[in-house]
Amino acid sequence: MVPSRPHLLVSICLLFLAGVGESVFAQQNNSSTDVTLKAVASIHGMAGPFAVAGYRMGARALRDLNLQRGDFALSVVHESPAEVQWSCVVDGVQAATGASLGKLNLRFETVPINQMVTIIKNRKTGEELRFKLKPEFVRAFLNLTEDQLASAGAKVADLSDSTIFIEEHLGKEHAKPQGN
C-alpha cells in the first residue's frame, strides 16, 4: 500500500529530521582528535605526525595570542629545510590558523635543520611565539613508513603540547619586525 501524499510528506520530513539530528549529534560528539585530524587532512591530504604537530602549534598560538582562526592580524613564518616532514609542519599550522599565502600572512623560508622554527605573531600587539619541535618528538616520529603515518598522526593529536614542542613567548618589546 502506497501512503497518501500527506503521510508520504510526513514520512520524508521525519527521515530528514532524523538524519539532521543524527548529524548534529555526531558533530557534537566528535572528539577533538577527530576534529584535528580532519582539519589537517583537509589542507595536507592526510594527518601525519609533523602536520598534526604544526596544527597543535597553530591552535596553541591562537589561544595564547588571543586571535581567531583567519584573523588578518596573524602572521606565520615557518623556517625549515625544504624537505618533507619539516615542511609538513607549515600545512598543519595553516589548517589551525587559517593563515595563507593568498592573504600574505603565511611564509615559508628555507633554513638548515638546526635553525628550524615556526614563528606566529599577532601584528596588532607585536606579541610573537616561537615554536621548536622537541628532539624527543622528532626522534619518535622521524622517517616513519607511509603506512605508519596516519596512526602516528592520531597519536600526536592526543599528546600534550609540552611533549611535542617548546614555546617561547616574546612580548612586543622583544618581537623582531616582519614585513607582514
Same domain, 11 and 44: no
143 and 160 inside one domain: yes
Residue 5 pLDDT > 70, yes or no?
A: no
Asked if pLDDT for residue 21 goes beyond 70, the answer is no
Q: Give CB contacts under 8 A, 24+ apart, made by 143-147.
A: 143/85, 144/48, 144/49
According to the model, what pLDDT value does residue 173 have?
A: 56
My answer on whether 24 and 36 are in the same domain is: no
Same domain, 90 and 7: no
From residue 91, how far is each of 2, 18, 88, 95, 166 by CA, in Å?
53, 36, 5, 6, 19
Helices 32-44 and 88-97: crossing angle, nearest 10°? 120
In Å, how far from its chain's centre is CA 23?
Answer: 23
Structural domain of 3: 1-30
Indicate if 48 and 77 belong to the same structural domain.
Answer: yes
pLDDT at 172: 67
Cell of 52: 598534526
* Residues 34-92 pLDDT 10s: 988 899 888 898 999 999 999 999 999 999 999 999 999 999 999 999 999 999 999 99
Residue 156 cell numbers, joined: 600526536
pLDDT score at 97: 97
Residue 179, domain member (yes or no): no
Question: Is residue 57 classed as helix, strand or coil in its secondary structure?
Answer: helix
Residue 65 lies in a domain: yes
Q: Would 175 be classed as within a structural domain?
A: no
Residue 29 has pLDDT above 60, yes or no: no
* Contact present, 70 and 42 (Cβ < 8 Å): no
Are residues 56 and 132 located together in one domain of the fold?
yes
* CA dist., res. 63 & res. 164, Å (int): 17
**Quick one: cell of 35?**
576534529
pLDDT over 60 at 31, yes or no: yes
121: cell is: 605573531
Asked if pLDDT for residue 177 goes beyond 60, the answer is: no
DSSP per position, 105-146: -EEEEE--GGG-EEEEEETTT--EEEEEE-HHHHHHHTT--G
Q: Model confidence at 125, in pLDDT bands (50, 70, 90)?
A: very high
Report pTM: 0.78
Q: Domain total for the chain?
A: 2
Cα gap 80→21, rounded to integer Å: 45
Do 13 and 74 sit in the same domain of this protein? no
4 lies in the same domain as 42: no
Shared-domain flag, residues 65 and 151: yes
CATH number of the domain bearing residue 84:
3.30.1330.130
Same domain for 91 and 13, yes or no, is no
Same domain, 7 and 38: no
